Amino acid sequence: MVELDDIAKAKAVALILDKKTEQALEYLSKLYGIQTPEITVGTIKRKRRTVYAVYVVQEKKIYASNSEIFYNPFVILHEYYHHIRSKLDTHKGSEKHANMYAKSFIDSYVKIAQAQKD
């Protein structure tokens, strides 16, 4: 899998925070060389009240439970991790790994933002 640098990760987070979530997913997918997943606000049966978002492999789609979640970088990047793993076929990917992936993006964003303040 491609290893992204702090600048690329921070850019993806900034796009999501700027309410450009689709653009962030397109940007990341281009870097990874994979198809961009669809993303929508909505739910799926049996997951309506239990999760903030879900990635459905068969549909290649991320469902965010509401518009606030649609612009939440941690949740979106967590679900995007599941998309990457399904596309690169390395393994399904655990929730722990998806959380670590999303956290690395947030950490990079904070690091870049802090460096710009100093």
Residue 46 lies in a domain: yes
Residue 32 lies in a domain: yes
The pLDDT, as a whole number, for residue 46 is: 61
What is the span of the domain harbouring residue 88? 6-109
Question: pTM score, two decimals?
Answer: 0.90
Separation of first and last alpha carbons in the chain: 33
In the 3-class helix/strand/coil scheme, how is 71-92 assigned residue by residue? Answer: CCHHHHHHHHHHHHHHHHCCCC
Residue 117 lies in a domain: no
Specify the CATH number for the domain of residue 77.
3.30.2010
The set of residues, in sequence order, having a beta carbon less than 8 Å from that of 2 and lying 6+ positions away, is 31, 32, 33
Residue 41 lies in a domain: yes
Residue 116 lies in a domain: no
Place of tokens 């679900």: 79
Residue 97 lies in a domain: yes
Residue 66 lies in a domain: yes
Sorting pLDDT into bands at 50, 70 and 90, what band is 32?
A: very high
Residue 114 lies in a domain: no
